[in-house]
A and B are shown apart, each in its own frame.
Chain A
Amino acid sequence: MLKKRLIAVLIVNGKYVVQSVKFKHTNAIHYDAAEAIECFNKWSIDEIIILNVSRTEETRMEFSKTIENICKKCFLPVAVGGWITDINYSRELFYKGADKLILNTAFHTNPALCESLASKFGTQSITASIDVKKENKRTTVWVNRGRINTEYHPSDWAKRAVELGAGEIFFNSIDHDGARKGYNLVTLNDICSSVNVPVIAFGGVFNWSHLSEGIREGADAVALANQLHYTEHSARRAKKFLINEGLNVRSI
């Protein structure tokens, strides 16, 4: 039976791994992303997501180099995202060791790219990242690193992403990002019940119980970033917690 996944997220800005709070990236946590992987007590983590959150497109080559370095010693699935705007760069990221591409803004500005990537590389290798934010009591999908409101309802956006070729959803809430109060469970549940592809929950994990909440709400994988960097042996502890909760995860 398919296991629920525990995913480590590395937010990379330039060369550094940074902390993310409501999509603002200030604190550098690690000065070398490959080193951060070592710190993750990697044998408990089931997958790694690496996101280039830099504001400039010129970081693309440096990011691809980072992926190459990480993959040299990391025998785990790796999904990567940020500044994926054409097929050549996508091919390069796969070549350097990525297993899946994560696209966010492209689903808004360039749906044709998403469709052609899905047809070229298969829907299983395309993950749609969906960021939501609540404004005037309405939760909608935001793109371009949380700067543009699409006005779309999250579950409608998720369905649209799947139609365009996404084989997985990576769900994050800007309000919950770094806020330490757990995932946005209401929207997570809404998305999980509206699409048939796997859904990764992200944004807001502080206690391990936040992870099990995400799984119980329907997530196929639970992801965390900041919290992994600040607690010793954190990945292993998180995994142990999920096993003790009786959840179907890969044993360590």
Chain B
Amino acid sequence: MIKDIGIIDYDMGNISSLSNAIIEVGGKPSIINDPTSVAGFSKIILPGVGAFKDAISNLKSKQFISVLNDFASSGKQILGICLGMQLMCKTSSENGYFDGLGWFDAEVNKLPKTSNIKLPHIGWNEVNFSKQNALLETIKDKSDFYFVHGYHVECKNYEDILSTSSHGINFVSAIQNKNITGVQFHPEKSQSAGLSLIKNFLES
């Protein structure tokens, strides 16, 4: 089992929370500030709290874009969390129109306001699994995970959808294609279900 997990630090994340969760399930987190060291890891996590525009421009200015692209196409495991998942998409309409990493044929748009819901989507919500995946093993379908986001991912390829959740509309709460996985919720803040997901990532 590979216990070393690299966490991309581009000034947009709750890096400590993620490190703490990885340690809790027996992993060894390393914070990656230097893009040249990305290739040395066999598993990395792209975290993210904040707005899309700042995140993508930080990834650019810190020269992470091409090493992340190389990592993703190498077949090694990468997990995006929250904004990290959104960055994996083609475009985002958050405060403008921006290109993402483009690993998923998907757009990031604002959650629509429907009657009887509050936005942003903050709190614990059910995650309904759409397909089987090693990361979801041992986790009960429809478990509650913690969400805190105002934008959501709209997939063009339905095969990429790993799970959905409901808040006014049914939206995509996790995506997965081969070695690349993204989750809209925060496993590092979702107690036992979340820790199981991180443990599965460690062991997958």
A residues sitting closer than 8 Å to B (CB atoms) are 1-5, 43, 46-47, 68, 71-73, 75-78, 91, 94-100, 119-125, 167-168, 196-199, 220-221, 250-251
Contacts and interface: CB of A to CB of B under 8 A. Distances in A.
Contacts of B122: 124, 167-168, 198, 220
Interface stretch (B16-24, B37-45, B97-105, B156-164): B16-24
B16 A97 contact: yes
B72 interface: no
B118 A196 contact: yes
A5 B150 contact: no
Interface stretch (B47-55, B130-138, B175-183): B47-55
Interface in B115-148: 117-126, 144, 146-148
Nearest to A118: B51
Contacts of B147: 2
B150 A98 contact: no
Interface residues of B, number: 43
Interface string B75-116: 000000001000000000011000000000000000001000
6 contacts: A1-B126, A46-B124, A47-B146, A75-B20, A100-B148, A119-B95
A90 B13 CA distance: 12
A94 B148 contact: no
The 8 A-B residue pairs with the shortest CB-CB distance in the complex, in nearest-first order: A124-B120, A97-B17, A121-B50, A3-B124, A250-B124, A198-B118, A167-B120, A97-B16
A26 B13 CA distance: 35
Given A43-B191, A122-B150, A2 B125 contact: yes
A98 B147 CA distance: 14
Contacts of A72: 20
B50 A99 contact: no
A124 B149 contact: yes
A147 B148 CA distance: 32
B195 interface: yes
B166 interface: yes
Contacts, number: 120
B51 A94 contact: no
Chain B at the A interface: SS class: mixed
A33 to B, nearest CB: 16
A75 B51 contact: no
A122 B124 contact: no
Contact of A124 (B144, B148, B194): B148
A91 B125 contact: no
A197 B119 contact: yes
Given A3-B123, A120-B54, A99 B11 contact: no
A53 B68 CA distance: 42
Interface in B156-204: 166-167, 186, 188-192, 194-195
Given A75-B24, A120-B54, A124-B149, A99 B118 contact: no
Contact of A3 (B17, B144, B189): B144
Contact of A1 (B14, B94, B125, B192): B125
A118 B164 CA distance: 27
A76 B16 contact: no
B173 to A, nearest CB: 12
Given A43-B191, A122-B83, 14 more contacts: A1-B167, A3-B124, A46-B124, A77-B148, A91-B11, A95-B16, A122-B120, A167-B122, A196-B119, A197-B119, A197-B120, A220-B118, A250-B124, A251-B144
Nearest to B148: A124
